[in-house]
Amino acid sequence: MDIATVVGFILAYVVIGAAIMMGGPFILFVNGPGMLLVIGGTFAVTLMGVTMSDFLGSFKIGLKGVFYKLDVPQNLIEESVELANVARKEGILALEGREISNSFLERGIGLCIDGHAPEIVKNLLTKDINMSINRHTVGAGMFKSMAVYAPAMGMIGTLVGLVQMLSNMSDPASIGPAMAVALLTTLYGAIIANAFASPLADKLILISGYEKRNKDMILESITGIQEGTNPRVLKQMLMAYLPESKREVEE
């Protein structure tokens, strides 16, 4: 698990909380109806734009984006090269029953063992990659929508508060606090968008890119194994997926 998202999340709220508490009581910033409006409203309009199963699934995807452990490419390369060695010497059927750590690699090897033609294996695995990217894109898209709707809901709350305040200005002393309350929803919206929804969407897109790179690499290694490519050449082909710095350590 990469801790960046968790560390960043905690840090962001510590910093914002500190800024709030250094200037006065925290309670000034708590407003039940405003929170209900911004959080509830953001969820409601986000829900409007998706299907129920996407809505529920996206939170699972969001959690995965935070806690999911991506396979280290170097290990995948090593495992693939080993499989290629075995397949070359003893035939592809020798891979049957072998334990494979990565499920996508396992599925691909399984298809080879089942005797499917290379172009069908490639077609099936490519669709798999597209499907999983698509799912991540929908998930990231939902958090992006939340990052758009949260500030809008905050503005709606502030406008509601301003209209109420302006309609009744008989007591000048209450104007300041009323306006403070009105501004709170804008603050809530800005925090939800910038310290939750938008960074999470960024992370999901990034993670999805890394997962795609891993799967592209696996697809190439499966094609190589099925076509009986020389394992040493295959290794060099796969190494090219790594940044130069990591490559040198391995070679």
CB of 100 to its own copies, least distance (A): 16
Q: Which of 72, 236, 248, 250 binds its own copies (CB under 8 A)?
A: 236
Interactions with its own copies, residue window 132-151 (CB under 8 A): 132, 135, 138, 145, 148-149
If one asks whether residue 231 binds its own copies (CB under 8 A), the answer comes out as no
Interactions with its own copies, residue window 181-200 (CB under 8 A): 183-184, 186-187, 190-191, 193-195, 198-200
If one asks whether residue 106 binds its own copies (CB under 8 A), the answer comes out as no
If one asks whether residue 72 binds its own copies (CB under 8 A), the answer comes out as no
If one asks whether residue 62 binds its own copies (CB under 8 A), the answer comes out as no
Q: Which of 15, 30, 63, 93 binds its own copies (CB under 8 A)?
A: 15
Helix axes 231-239, 73-90, angle to 10 degrees: 160
- Rounded to whole angstroms, the Cα distance separating 132 from 244 reads 28
Q: Of 83, 100, 101, 99, nearest to 91 (Cα)?
A: 83
If one asks whether residue 9 binds its own copies (CB under 8 A), the answer comes out as yes
Could you tell me which stretch among 11-19, 73-81, 88-96 binds its own copies (CB under 8 A)?
Answer: 11-19
Q: Which of 30, 72, 93, 131 binds its own copies (CB under 8 A)?
A: 131
- Rounded to whole angstroms, the Cα distance separating 72 from 214 reads 9
Interactions with its own copies, residue window 202-221 (CB under 8 A): 202-203, 206-207, 210
Q: Of 149, 132, 11, nearest to 64 (Cα)?
A: 132
If one asks whether residue 86 binds its own copies (CB under 8 A), the answer comes out as no
Assess contact for 188 and 35: CB atoms under 8 A. Answer: yes
Sign of CA dihedral 77, 240, 215, 118: negative
- Rounded to whole angstroms, the Cα distance separating 128 from 211 reads 12
- Rounded to whole angstroms, the Cα distance separating 232 from 85 reads 9
If one asks whether residue 226 binds its own copies (CB under 8 A), the answer comes out as no
